[in-house]
Structure 1
Amino acid sequence: MTAGVQTIIYPVKDLARAKAVFGALLGTEPYADEPYYVGYKDAGQDVGLDPNGHAKGMTGPVAYWHVDDIHATQQALVAAGAEVLQDVADVGGGRLIASLKDAEGNPIGLLQDPGK
């Protein structure tokens, strides 16, 4: 079961320039501002900037589906023909993410918040 797409992560090469652009777009300061990740919340949407995204193989923004059980969801997607790009990993505070690609090569992000 999903709670829908609530997070979009953009791979960026110049974090300072990306912060300026997204700050202007969203009209707010980031809630997380670290050298490895900058995150904004706006209108119920989480927008992240990942300066290591390109090194992880991201070629553009990835939408992350919020799920109750990331391991079971990943298994179901693989059984249906998806390929794992990044296995389930804790990115801090118990938040788990994973990324896969569908049969057409489109990215699928999964995210499970702590306590789920």
Structure 2
Amino acid sequence: MTAGLKTVIYPVKDIAKAKALFTALLGVEPYVDEPYYVGFKDAGQDVGLDPSGHSKGLTGPVPYWHVDDIKATLSALLAAGAETLQDVQEVGGGRLIASVKDTDGNQVGLIQDTAA
């Protein structure tokens, strides 16, 4: 079960320039502003900028589906033919992420928020 597509992560090479561009686009300041990640919240969406994204194999923006059980969802996707790009990993605040490549090579991200 998903709670929808609520997060998109962009790999960026120059986080300062990307932050300026997305601040201008969204008209809001980031809620997270760290050298390793900049995050914006706007209109119910979470937009993230990852300066390490390219080195992680991201070739463009990756949509992240918010799910209730990330391990079960990942298992179901793998059984349906997806290939693991990033196994389940905790990224802080109880948030778990993972990503796969579908049978057409598209990247699909998963997020589970476990913190109350």
Q: In the aligned structure 2, how far is the partner of 1:103 from the partner of 1:115?
A: 32
Q: Which residue of 2 aligns with 1:70?
A: 70
- Deviation, structure 1 residue 114: 1.6
**TM-score, with length taken from structure 1:** 0.98
- Give the paired residue count: 116
- State the match for 2:46 in structure 1: 46
Percent of aligned pairs sharing the same letter: 74
SS at match of 1:85: strand
Q: Indicate the RMSD between aligned Cα atoms, in angstroms.
A: 0.9
Structure 1 runs of 4+ aligned residues shifted over 6 Å read none
Question: CA-to-partner distance for each residue in 1:19-65, whole Å, 9 max, x for gaps?
Answer: 00000000010000001000000000000000000000000000000
1:12 aligns with 2:12: yes
1:59 aligns to 2:54 (yes or no): no
Measured in 1, the distance between the counterparts of 2:97 and 2:75 equals 14
Gaps of 5+ in 2: none
The residue that corresponds to 2:99 in the other structure is: 99
**Residue 30 (str. 1) matches residue 38 (str. 2):** no
Letter of the structure 1 residue corresponding to residue 57 of structure 2: G
Distance 1:36 1:94 in 2: 18
Distance 1:28 1:81 in 2: 39
Query: Are the counterparts in 1 of residues 95 and 115 from structure 2 also a CA contact under 8 Å?
Result: no
C-alpha contact (below 8 Å) 2:93/2:115 kept by paired residues: no
Unmatched segments (≥5 aa) in structure 1: none
- Alpha-carbon distance, 1:115 to partner: 4.1
